[in-house]
Amino acid sequence: MDKVTDFLPVWIVALPLVMTFVILAVERRSEKLRNVLVVAAAAVTFLSVAALYPHVIGGEIIRLQLFSLLPNLVVSFRVDVLSFSLSLLASFVWLLVTVYSLEYMRHEHGCNRYYPILIATLASCMGVFLAGDFLTLFVFFELMSLISYILVVHEETLEALRAGYKYLILTIIGGLALFFGIIVTFELGGSVSLESTPLIREPSPLALLAFLAYLIGFGMKAGMFPLHIWLPDAHPVAPSPASALLSGIMLKTGAYGLLRVIFHVFGSKLLLETGWTMLLSILAIISILLGSAVALTQEDLKRRLAYSSIGQMGYILLGMTVLNERALLGDVFHIFSHAFMKSTLFLAAGAIILQTGKRKIKELAGVGRQMPATMLAFSLAAISMMGIPPLSGFLSKWALSLGALDAGKTYYVVVLLVSSLLNGLYYLPIIISAFFGKTEGEEGHGPARFNEVPPKMLVPVVLLALTTFLFGVLPWNVPFDLSQMTAEFLLRGGF
């Protein structure tokens, strides 16, 4: 292994972190330079992650130990196929969202605060995915949670502040629970590194307690019932690009953490013996059904999307409790596809809000004729969300369902399909009214007022929407291959 790739993980985390301060220093002087630097930081991060591809595809695990805090407590980085998949996904979506932000945020206040925070969050997000032990992960996890608070409250309305406060409180609760779990793991396993797995080999009340603590800590982030309550408040109030990242990427850190907990702390064998994942699966099923059902009753577009995220994260949480290869494949692939779909949806919603000022679903009639490209992207993502072929949402649903059936859990499939139906019931009316609906008093078709957003915003939206299509149809499907590798890798025990 050559030295450069050895230090690439640190570089990936450090670069945006340093850039944050550079941007802070530069932004007073030149907005243009700031914008260039922001995009460059996101782009270089993405490329750096992508540069790891050949190593990861070769089954290599890059390890780097920085320094040790205490004996057996080392701050370290580690890139395996799961870390790589998620960091690749995150940095890709981040890049597109950053480009989108340039235009969207032009109409907002506080850009000089927004951009450095955006990049700092990217750094901490990368840190979460690339951490080599739970302590490092915890540090970056908390960092990310706290920094993203600023993104949530960006609008500074009363509503936003309130939602942000709720988010903050739950983040702290989650962080404390997580910390407890890590301490117990260290006590029982003697280490919190991802290298020696599983860390806990014997079932004990303390181990169960740790499992519950992890469940609270990561489940809170993943929007798991009943800790989801911050999500439908926080995601809609944030500026749309931030919502896209919160819903599309940052929720996934919770799922990522739980995957690590299931396969690195406890190991699938122990969990299968004790059946502790039953709790997670029950909560996931409630999340799925509740999220989908409540989304149906929401009037606000972004709020509906946020509830939909709860349901979709439920798919991911449910998938990881099945503990077989096919379900895991579907699970990781759904992390990908949900990130693509939900970012598309939030970015498209942002474009609509920016261009027409409409937030309520009732008002969206005819938007599809004004903004055909945006709305087509929205439709593509929404139909993918319903799991209709040939889009990526179908692939993940297919794999998840087959995995559940392999494990003999038919009712999981029924839950997934009922949720798909509900998805249809709350997404299709939006699409229908956008393209075919008539606003009050409109007679027939007026000349379609073409009112599309500028290309800087349109390109990321359309690109993301295309990914949901291409990564469904294409035989050459990087996310799918990575998911396949990850599933095998995790079931092997993380080596």
Partner 1 sequence: MMLAAASEVNATAETIASFLPAAAIGIPFAGSVAAFLFGRRAEKLRNACAALAALLTLAAVLCLYPLVVRGQVTWEVAGVLQSGLFFRVDFYSFVFAALMSFIWFLATLHAAFYMAHEHAQTRFFVFLLATLASCLGVVLAGDLFTLFVFFELMTLLSYVLVIHEETKDAMHAGAVMLYLGVAGGLCLLLGILLLYAGIGTLEIKPLQELIAASALNPYVVMLLFVIGFGVKAGMIPLHIWLPKAHPVAPSPASALLSALMIKTGAYGIFRVVGMIFTPAAGAGDGDAAAVHAALEMLPARQAGYVLIWLGIITMFAGALMALLSTAAKKILAYSSVSQMGYILMGIGVAAYLGTEGAMGFAGALYHIINHAFFKAGFFLMVGTIYMVTHELDITVARGMLKKVPFVAIVFLIGFAGIGGIPGFNGYVSKTLLHHAIVEAAEHSHSMPLFLAEKIFTVTSAMTLCYFTRLFRGLFLGDIPDRFAKKSFCYPWPVYAVLGVFGTVILAIGLFPHFLLKRAVIPAAQGFMYNHHALEHLQEINVWNWHDVQGILVVLALAAILYLVLDRSGFFALNPPGWLSVEYLFYRPAVRLLQTACTAGAGFDSLINGICLQVYRLGRRVCLLVASLDASLNEAYRRGGGAVRTLAERTGQLDGALNQVYKKSGGAVRRLAGSTEQVDNALNRAYIKSGGAVRRLADHTERLDNSLNRAYTKSGGAVRYLAGHTEQLDTALNRAYEKSGGAAKGLVRKTADFDELLDAAYEQTGKRSRRLWDRLRGQPSDWNIKNLNFDALLVALMLGLLLFIIIYYIRLQ
Size of the site for partner 1 (CB under 8 A): 46
Distance CA 187, CA 255 (A): 24
- Closest contact distance (angstroms) between CB of 444 and partner 1 is 7
DSSP 79: E
User: Site mask, partner 1, residues 221-240, x = CB under 8 A?
Assistant: ----xx--x-----------
Q: Is 296 in the site for partner 1 (CB under 8 A)?
A: yes
Q: Is 279 in the site for partner 1 (CB under 8 A)?
A: no
Q: Looking at residues 350 to 389 of the shown chain, list those that interact with partner 1 (rule: CB under 8 A).
A: 383, 386, 388-389
Distance CA 258, CA 281 (A): 12
| Number of other residues whose CB lies within 10 A of the CB of residue 176 | 14
SS3 58: coil
Q: Is 480 in the site for partner 1 (CB under 8 A)?
A: yes
Residues 6+ apart with CB under 8 A from 30: none
Distance CA 191, CA 182 (A): 9
| Cα 383–chain centre separation | 19
Q: Is 428 in the site for partner 1 (CB under 8 A)?
A: yes
Decide the pairing of beta strands 62-70 and 73-79.
antiparallel
Nearer to partner 1, 75 or 289 (CB): 289
Nearer to partner 1, 225 or 346 (CB): 225
Q: Do 41 and 15 contact (CB within 8 A), yes or no?
A: yes
Distance CA 250, CA 339 (A): 9
Reference 303, options 242, 346, 251; nearest CA is 346
SS3 65: strand
SS3 75: strand
Distance CA 173, CA 180 (A): 11
Reference 260, options 130, 424, 115; nearest CA is 130
Reference 416, options 445, 396, 444; nearest CA is 396
Distance CA 358, CA 178 (A): 39
Q: Is 282 in the site for partner 1 (CB under 8 A)?
A: no
Nearer to partner 1, 33 or 417 (CB): 417
- Closest contact distance (angstroms) between CB of 272 and partner 1 is 19
The one segment of 33-41, 135-143, 342-350, 470-478 that binds partner 1 by CB under 8 A: 470-478
Q: Looking at residues 157 to 196 of the shown chain, list those that interact with partner 1 (rule: CB under 8 A).
A: 169
Binding partner 1 (rule: CB under 8 A), the pick from 59, 275, 390, 446 is 390
Q: Do 176 and 220 contact (CB within 8 A), yes or no?
A: no
**Unique residue bearing structure tokens 């490329």:** 47
Reference 103, options 434, 364, 374; nearest CA is 374
SS3 66: strand
| Number of other residues whose CB lies within 10 A of the CB of residue 450 | 9
Nearer to partner 1, 156 or 442 (CB): 442
Binding partner 1 (rule: CB under 8 A), the pick from 420, 467, 468, 486 is 420
Binding partner 1 (rule: CB under 8 A), the pick from 56, 294, 318, 465 is 294
- Closest contact distance (angstroms) between CB of 404 and partner 1 is 9
Nearer to partner 1, 213 or 400 (CB): 400
Nearer to partner 1, 254 or 479 (CB): 479
Q: Is 10 in the site for partner 1 (CB under 8 A)?
A: no
- Closest contact distance (angstroms) between CB of 387 and partner 1 is 8
Q: Is 209 in the site for partner 1 (CB under 8 A)?
A: no
Locate 470 and state its tokens: 């291409």
Q: Is 424 in the site for partner 1 (CB under 8 A)?
A: yes
Distance CA 60, CA 5 (A): 11
Binding partner 1 (rule: CB under 8 A), the pick from 398, 459, 466, 491 is 398
Locate 31 and state its tokens: 């907005």
Please count the residues of the chain.
495
Binding partner 1 (rule: CB under 8 A), the pick from 275, 362, 417, 451 is 417
Binding partner 1 (rule: CB under 8 A), the pick from 168, 176, 402, 470 is 402
Nearer to partner 1, 132 or 393 (CB): 393
Nearer to partner 1, 208 or 432 (CB): 432
The one segment of 63-71, 142-150, 207-215, 472-480 that binds partner 1 by CB under 8 A: 472-480
Nearer to partner 1, 26 or 318 (CB): 318
Q: Is 64 in the site for partner 1 (CB under 8 A)?
A: no
**Interface ranges with partner 1 (CB under 8 A):** 169, 225-226, 229, 289-290, 293-294, 296-297, 383, 386, 388-390, 394-395, 398, 401-402, 405-406, 410, 413-414, 417, 420-422, 424-425, 428-429, 432, 436-438, 444-445, 472-477, 480
